Structure formats: C-alpha cells, structure tokens
Structure 1
Amino acid sequence: MRLTDATWPDIRPQTFGGAAPVLVLPVGALEQHGPHLPLDTDAVTATAVAAAVADARPRAALAPTLPIGASGEHADFPGTLSIGSDALRQLIVEVVRSSTPTLSAVMVVNGHGGNVDALRSAAELCTAEGRTLLPHHLGLPGMDAHAGRTETSLMLHLAPERVRLDHAEPGNTAPVRELLAEMKAHGVRGVSPNGVLGDPTGASATEGAELFARLRDRAIAAFDGLTE
C-alpha cells in the first residue's frame, strides 16, 4: 500500500495481511550526475526499488520519497541541493519516532552513498530508543561509483526519456578508494571535472533491467529478513 493513497483507518493490521505494517521509506538525493543524467537519479532508483518491495509484500507501507539527502561532495556543481548528514539523521529519526508503534518498523531504501553515515547514526539512536530502523543501501558487486555505466543503464530502464546519451562521456575511472582522500579535500569536482566517476559507454536498458531485478530481489530479501 502507498501511504499517499491511504486514509487513517486503513493503517491497521487487517489491511496489511493481519500483521503490523512496516514503513518502506525511499531516500535519494538531488545532485549532479554528470552531463547526461538528471539530478534526481538516486531518488528515481530508490523510489522504484521501494515501490517494488511494496508491490511484492502486502505488509509494506510505502512512504513518499525523501528527495534531498547529504550531498556536500557535489556542492561545486550547479543544481545540487543538500541538507547535510546531521539534518538527514534527525529527519529520519523523527520519521521513525512518528511512525511507531502504529507501524512496527522502518526500512529505508537508500539510493545515495553520501547518506550512509547519517542512516547508520539514525539506526543506532533508534535502536537505543527501542525502535527498529533498517537502512538498506542500494548496491551490487561491480557497480561503478557515480553516473557511469551502472546508473546510466538503470535510468535507461527506469526513465529512458530523461537520459541524454548524446552528452554521456567518461569521467574518472580510477577505483573510488584511490580517490577518497582527494574527494574529501576538494569534492567530486576535484577528481572529475564532468562529475562522472566511471564510464557510461555501453550502457543499455537491457543491462539496466537486469541490474534493477537484482536490486529489487536484494531489497525484498532484506524486507523479509526484517519481518520474519
């Protein structure tokens, strides 16, 4: 069920297969994704995966997407908006506090790596308060870092009309672990003038569909682990 379609009497165990519902909350970012992908790429992916979880599991209550996260590393690129880790952490904590005990737990489907620290800290606080928050970060072995072949393929599958393939070009293809120190000091612009970490060459909707299916199945498994 999508919370935006519900009325308050709908939020009861009988509507969710007889069990207390679990909130599924997509969290993204609004930040540069190279010259070829839209600023909300992370939110698009997180929203699609979270919706797939809600479609597959009747106990899931799908929340509206939080579209802005912690994206300070992209601040040098026009269009990027960020609320920072501290504000994101508090926002997530307040969502969890307000949703429980009516909803038994919260699973965050996170589409942006820069949100990881905030979500980890929020989960620790929620655990200390006796609440359940599971951050689930979208990722697969072999995925490139940012606006490369992986994200371009996913967007060609999810929203092909929004991909500007004629503007796609390689960025810095070095492993992210080799770039972290420079990125912490000078942001993504310091290591990649076009904002791409990877190479979108060869991206396709077919590959994107395969990647999405793996992300979806992994998220459903995480939801099942939370509710079993």
Structure 2
Amino acid sequence: MRSTPGNLAAPSDLAHTVWPEVSSSPLVLVPLGSTEQHGPHLPLGTDAVVARAVAERVAAGAPAEWHTLVAPTMAYGSSGEHAGFAGTVSIGREALLAVLVEAVRSLAMWAGRIVFVNGHGGNVATLGAAVGQLRAEGHRVAWVPCVAPGADPHAGRWETSVMLHLAPEDVRTAAAVAGDTRPLADLMPDLVAGGVLAVTPSGVLGDPAGASAEEGEKAMEFMVATVTRLIAADTVDARGRLVDPADGTVAE
C-alpha cells in the first residue's frame, strides 16, 4: 500500500489496486449515486460525483490503521421519481437491493468494514433494507448519507454550489432556473403521487440562485468531517445507518 508522511494513508482506488497490495481487513468505502436529471444546469451524474468526492476525501484523511480503499462508484440507483426526464436511468429498488446485498457478500470475504457513502435520497429505503439484512447475516456493513445543513431537496443552491466546487466545467450556470421551493415535507405527497415531473417541469426542487464554489467547498468540508467522525464512532441505527453515538442521530 502507498503511504504518506505522518499517520495518514494515501487514498487507494480499489479499481487501480492489484490484489497483493490489498491490506488485511481494510475499510472499504463504496460510493453510491444515481444517473438522473438534475435540472437543466447540473449533470446527470451529480449524485455519483458528490458521493465519490466525499469517499475519496474521507480516505485521504483517514488514519493509516483503517487501510481505507475506495471501491468503484455505483452510478445507478433507485430513481423512479425522476421518470419522464430524458437521461434518467433507474434500476429500481429490487435490483438495487440485490446489487447491494451481493456486493457486500463478496466484499466481506476480504474486507474488514464496508460503508456505503450515499449521494441519492431515493436510495435510502433500499439501503436500509439491504444493510439491515446484511447485518443480520453477520456482515460488518453500514451506510452514511452525504448531507449538509440547509441543503435544499434537489438541484438547488446546495447541490449547485457543491458541483461548482467539484466540477465547475459541468455546471451550465446560464441554464439554471428556480423550481418548486416548498419544503420537502410539503412536497412529499405530490412527489409520491406523481414524481418530480408532476411538481416541477424543470426538475429543480429549490433555487440555485446564489450558488458558489465557496459554499460548495464549505459543504464538502462539513460532509467529509461528519462522515469521518461517524465512521470512527462506528455506531448504527436499526437501518444500519451510521449515527452520532451521543444521541443516536446523524449530525445534520
């Protein structure tokens, strides 16, 4: 394994690692995203980009004894709520559950811990079901969301800021428009009944106005610090989600 000065291990990309370099019982971070519409201004792979960036930065700062590896990104998720928007590719809950379960069963043959770093809210129900089943089977697996304070639901100021920080060349700033800005709790009945298209023709839930790379950098710093802290604490709820051991909830 490559190393850096001090007590930090260099981030290791599993796809570019040869098997003799894989340390005994490493921590494996699996970025989980989606391929779905993110309004007229953000790329379809936004959730996967964010999840991978969080996983890589957590690995870069992880203690050497974690022997952290970042697995290839799972770029397809459960995105049925975005049906009707060109470019969206959803594999649905049943297929996603099968992929998650079989991936962990394989990883568990050599990994010490497995953590899914999730960038798409539509994956949450399936993640909870899959990880709950896997933990009941005895596997040391958990999941954690990529969240930050004040985040709007979809393709708004928060995600736009993060993408301006991570991949500004992929953001069509001039095409950005405001969508439905109601809180997610108010939107949920309409979203469940008719999907995103029934609520906003642009696909945006929120308002990207005012987004900046600086805000995106701060959001990333928060997410990386939070995920690192939760992995270190290694406390989960009934769904296998990493939580703050002080109160049993994710710090948001």
TM-score with structure 1 setting the length:
0.94
Aligned equivalent of 2:58, options 46, 53, 59: 53
Q: Which has the higher helix share?
A: 1
Q: Does the 8 Å contact 1:123/1:132 carry over to 2?
A: no
Write the distance in 2 (CA, Å) between the matches of 1:36 and 1:149.
11
Aligned equivalent of 2:16, options 1, 5, 12: 5
Query: Superposed, which structure 2 residues align to 1:92-103 within 5 Å?
Result: 92-103=100-111
Write the distance in 1 (CA, Å) between the matches of 2:43 and 2:234.
32
For structure 1, the 5+ residue unaligned runs are 14-19
Write the distance in 2 (CA, Å) between the matches of 1:136 and 1:189.
28
Equivalent position SS for 1:25 = strand
Aligned equivalent of 1:158, options 132, 153, 166: 166
Q: Deviations over 1:92-137 (max 9, x none)?
A: 1111100113101210000000000110001111111100221101
Aligned to 1:33: 38
Note the aligned Cα RMSD (angstroms): 1.1
The one-letter amino acid paired with 1:160 is P
Write the distance in 1 (CA, Å) between the matches of 2:143 and 2:98.
14
- How far 1:141 moved relative to its partner? 2.6
Alignment coverage as a number of residue pairs = 221
Q: Give the percent of matched residue pairs that are identical in Structure 1 and Structure 2.
A: 46
Q: Deviations over 1:68-101 (max 9, x none)?
A: 1000000110100000111111111111100113
Equivalent position SS for 1:115 = helix
Aligned to 2:47: 42
Equivalent position SS for 1:194 = coil
- How far 1:56 moved relative to its partner? 1.4
Write the distance in 2 (CA, Å) between the matches of 1:53 and 1:126.
24
Q: Does the 8 Å contact 1:145/1:198 carry over to 2?
A: yes
Q: Runs ≥4 in structure 1, deviation > 6 angstroms?
A: none
TM-score with structure 2 setting the length:
0.85
